[in-house]
Every structure is written in C-alpha cells, then in structure tokens.
Amino acid sequence: MAIQVNEEAGSPTESWTWEKGIAARRVLRCAWADRITAFNEQIALVYPYLPTSSLFVLRGTIDAVPARQSQGATADLASYEKALLTLDYGIPEDGQPPGGVDPAEFATESLQVAGEFVTLDASGYIWFGDLKPLSGDESPGRMMKTLEYRYTRKNVSIIPSAVLSLVGSVNSAALTPSTPGMSALTFQPETLLYQPPIMSRRLTSVGASLWDLDFRFVYRPNFDTETGVARGWNYFWRSSKSNYDQIARWISETSGEAVRPYPPKNFLQILL
C-alpha cells in the first residue's frame, strides 16, 4: 500500500522571534517500516500551512512510539509498529533550501503521446463510389490514440506487494495526475493498463537501502464513436458495429458475471 502519514493532534505549532522570524514544528505518525521513506518525502516539501513563506525543514527527528514496543527477533533489539516524525521548519539564512541545493525529489510524472496502427476487418467496409465490399487484401487501418503515463516514486524503503500483483490490470476508478500542469487530464476507469515496473536499488551514504520505483501505464481510451465516452482496455473494435464493444474471457459459474481480459484494480495502492 501507499505510505500513510497522519499529523498528530496538537500539530502544528508556530513561533516567532526577532532573530529568526517565523518558525514551525509538525509531528507526524507513520508505520515504523516506512519512517525513512516518509522522512525523505517530507523534507522535500515546504511548510504546508504557510506555503508562501518558504519555510523549509531545517531539522528532523524520528522517535519510536513506546506504547507499541515488543520484543524483537534478538534479545538486544526491539520491534516497533509506529514512528513519530518531528519536523522543525524555518527560514534558511540565504532564503534557499538547506544546503543550497534543490529540494529532494520524491516523485516525478511524465507523459509520452503515441499511436497504434491497427488493421481492421475488410468485410465490414465498402467502397464509397460503387458500394462494393472490400476484398481481403484491401483491409483498412485505424490509428488508435495512446500515450504512456509514467509515475516514479523515489527513496522508497519497502516495496509494496501490489507493485508486482497489479501488473496487467487496469484502473478501477478515474485517476488524475498530481502535477498541477496535468490537472486537466483525467484517466477514466479502465483506460490505464499497468505495465511491469522498473525497480532500481540504491545504497546511500548513511547505509540505507532505498528504491526508485518507475511505474508505467499505457493509456487507451477507445472512445465510443456514438457517445464519445472512454471505454478503455476491455473494449475492442467491432467492424460490424463500427464501434468498440466489450468482450469477456468467460462467464463465471459462481457469480454469473463476465470475466474481463484486464481486471480492474485499485491503483492507489501504489500511487501517492
């Protein structure tokens, strides 16, 4: 599942001094196993309650939640379920992100427009001039509109099981890219096919093992020629109707429902 981070009650707190100006502190709770990934994601962001103030994370600590302590696998180690992230925000001396570098990336998005040329069945078409049907070697082609949507999560400490189990499925609900410039684009249900991801492992200077997860989705709307509604991957071109129609692999004996070639799944299990 995607990393879940919740703000604690009583957070945030804000303060002000003549020397430093405005400052703030937030306390966030997350799963113990996700603490490094959550911390890396948060330090890339400015203080969310005053987004125009350019308050950056200047210091942070990670504490185990004592109430969840249990004996670990070895006698000298403890096991925890939850962690508390304390983030102190302030204005750097030069007004830039700490260290004079750009904020760390935790996710990127990209789009690549493409098209797929498909050969159609000649039997469903005639020549306009003399109304004669097309012969088998005169099959027309049709350009199918597609694009590739890529979403990359960076600095992930643990790979969710859904990263692999969702391969070959389509989105069960509409999705909108999080990038502001892409906010007008919405992928309607079953129009995104999840491709095998690219997973790259890195070792950091502090010894942490982190992953970059590159998720790839192929968009195929298959718009209904009469209504303009996006039908998606489970609809195929039917020459006799000059439109897209749904097909099934079989009818389930238990539910009586059609089993579709591409099962709809919840992609929010892997997307932030």
Tens digit of each residue's pLDDT (9 = 90 or more) over 228-258: 999 999 998 887 788 889 887 777 677 777 7
Q: How far apart are CA 176 and CA 95, in angstroms?
A: 33
pLDDT digits (tens, 9 = 90+) for 97-110: 555 444 556 778 88
Which amino acid, one-letter code, is at 59?
Answer: R
What is the pLDDT, as a whole number, of residue 165?
Answer: 93
In the numeric block, which tokens belong to residue 128?
Answer: 């306009």
Q: Residue 79: which H helix or E strand, with range? A: strand 78-79
pLDDT digits (tens, 9 = 90+) for 152-206: 888 787 788 899 999 999 999 998 887 666 667 889 999 999 999 999 987 765 5
* Residue 127 pLDDT class (50, 70, 90 cuts): confident
Q: Residue 36: which H helix or E strand, with range? A: helix 35-42
What is the pLDDT, as a whole number, of residue 158?
Answer: 78
Q: How far apart are CA 109 and CA 184, in angstroms?
A: 14
* Burial class for 84, CB neighbours closer than 10 Å (0-12, 13-18, 19+): middle
Under 8 Å between Cβ of 185 and 176: yes
Under 8 Å between Cβ of 236 and 247: yes
Q: pLDDT higher for 142 or 128?
A: 128
CA distances from 248 to 11, 75, 109, 170, 222 (A): 51, 55, 33, 15, 16
Q: How far apart are CA 43 and CA 56, in angstroms?
A: 8
What is the pLDDT, as a whole number, of residue 33?
Answer: 84
Q: Is the pTM of this model over 0.85?
A: no
In the numeric block, which tokens belong to residue 98?
Answer: 């700490």
Under 8 Å between Cβ of 181 and 9: no
Assess whether pLDDT exceeds 90 at residue 8.
yes
Q: How far does Cα 32 stand from its chain's mean position?
A: 22
What is the pLDDT, as a whole number, of residue 207?
Answer: 57
Assess whether pLDDT exceeds 50 at residue 259.
yes
pLDDT digits (tens, 9 = 90+) for 19-52: 778 899 999 999 888 888 888 878 877 888 886 6
